[in-house]
Chains A and B, each alone.
Chain A
Amino acid sequence: MRSSLIIIGFFASGVVLGLSGKLPNGFDFDKFGSYALYLLMFLAGLSIGSDKNSWSVLATHNYKIIWVPVTIIIGTLTGSALVSLILPSLTMKESMAVGAGFGYYSLSSVFITQLHSHSLGVTALLSNIFREVFTLLATPILVSYFGNLAGIASGGATAMDTTLPVISKYSGKSYAIIAVFSGIVLTILVPFLVTFILS
């Protein structure tokens, strides 16, 4: 929660400064933004590659566990594709790209902003923050209705960090390992899936 507040803080101060109209003329943040994005992607890759945990968890050969992120991907993309039918101003692709953030709002919103548009970037930011907050609040109820994987599914990419405590509490410690595995797989896939969907 603390990190979401920091992130909202940076975003909000940008909005306020933008609204104030006190920006120097001719500052091209789109161009600057795409260089910043390359830097971000490189650093994100570095952090995945240099983390021993991401490889040791991926090396787990229990075939059942791989179905968890696969199910979450299929469920998320199906849900976000279907719901685009009641959202007239969004295409199916746009809605799926927002869904494919799996709660990883910081990276997915920045990504969608650069690849598509500012307004869809804001949609992705808000939508994926909602996913994290909803998971924190609703995991106890979801687990009692849909079983022990429900919190992991709802949390998506956040199941490896911010929503892990609540998942571990209501689904049990043995599910915490599955949560971390699923969260890591989804986190790694976010940039690939978003790019693929929007291309």
Chain B
Amino acid sequence: MIVILIVLSAGILTGLLLIKRPKIHRINNHLLNWAIYLLLFLLGLSVGTNKEVIQNLGKIGYEALVIALASIFGSVILSGLLFKLLFNKNAK
């Protein structure tokens, strides 16, 4: 895991050195998209060959939905408090 964080930080630092070259930024964003597509394709492959995941897809979907709703409502309710405390006064 530490390797991943080092690689990520190395990427950020390299990016900072290249900040004056917008072309590289654009090319990199294309590469990033394809890296994500490749990894999701690989995730699909390993899911397709993994009987345990395939058999539990309904359960996984249900859990995913429940976690999504809990995450959303946790943050939305707190953001409502923050809005009342800090933002509403100066809004108008």
Contacts and interface: CB of A to CB of B under 8 A. Distances in A.
A129 B10 CA distance: 29
Interface string B32-54: 10011111111111111110111
B19 A52 contact: yes
A148 B91 CA distance: 10
Given A10-B40, A43-B32, A147-B79, A19 B48 contact: yes
A18 B49 contact: yes
B25 A51 contact: yes
B1 A199 contact: yes
Interface in A91-142: 95, 98-99, 102, 106-107, 109-110, 113, 115, 118-119, 121-128, 130-131, 134-135, 142
A147 B81 CA distance: 9
A59 B61 CA distance: 39
A1 interface: no
B70 A71 contact: no
Nearest to B48: A18
Interface residues of A, number: 96
Nearest to A97: B67
The interface centre, meaning the residue of B17, B18, B82 with most chain A CB atoms within 10 A of its CB, is B82
The interface centre, meaning the residue of B31, B36, B43, B52 with most chain A CB atoms within 10 A of its CB, is B43
A123 B64 contact: yes
Contacts of A75: 71, 74-79
A15 B51 CA distance: 11
A15 B44 contact: yes
Contacts of A198: 1
Given A6-B37, A148-B91, A195-B1, A83 B47 contact: no
A38 B69 CA distance: 31
Contacts of B5: 191-192, 195
The interface centre, meaning the residue of B7, B18, B43, B75 with most chain A CB atoms within 10 A of its CB, is B75
Interface in A31-70: 32-33, 36-52, 55, 64, 67-68
30 contacts: A14-B44, A15-B48, A18-B46, A33-B39, A41-B7, A43-B11, A43-B28, A43-B32, A43-B35, A45-B11, A47-B15, A50-B18, A55-B19, A71-B75, A75-B75, A78-B74, A79-B72, A80-B74, A89-B59, A98-B64, A98-B67, A106-B40, A113-B43, A115-B1, A118-B43, A119-B53, A127-B64, A148-B87, A149-B87, A199-B1
* Across the A-B interface, the 3 shortest Cβ-Cβ residue pairs: A18-B48, A14-B44, A45-B11
Given A6-B37, A10-B44, A76-B71, 8 more contacts: A11-B43, A14-B45, A23-B49, A38-B4, A43-B28, A45-B15, A50-B19, A113-B39
